[in-house]
Amino acid sequence: MSSPPGLPEFDLPMIFADKVAGLGFQSGVFRVALAANVSNAVGVTEVVKSGFLILSPEGMLELRSQVDQLLGELERRGLMNLKPDKLDG
């Protein structure tokens, strides 16, 4: 699959996800099941498993660091608010 213009070419398949379908940790490996919303020819949408992300503990820490940086940048740009105006309760 070719990458969009401006992005580097990757030789690995891309997995699209709208949801996390499940989490697991076994034998020192962290697994995330991903799911995507898919529409059929009639327009009915259903959630289907789209793939797995399997990480070692070191890979999980690196992913967390990268996600923290991305979320911080989105918040800095005003695209996401990680601090609610008020707490429930």
Mean pLDDT by 10 residues, the chain (89 residues): 62 80 85 90 89 88 91 89 70
Q: What is the pTM of this model?
A: 0.57
Q: What is the pLDDT of residue 66?
A: 92
For the beta carbon of residue 45, count every other beta carbon within 10 angstroms.
9
Instruction: Name the CATH architecture for the domain at 19-76.
Output: Roll (2.30)
3-state SS, one letter per residue, for 29-85: EEEEEEEEEEECCCCCEEEEEEEEEEECHHHHHHHHHHHHHHHHHHHHCCCCCCCCC
Retrieve residue 39's tokens.
């529409």
* Domain boundaries along the sequence of the chain: 19-76
Residues 6 or more apart in contact with residue 39 via CB below 8 angstroms: 45
pLDDT of res. 87: 65
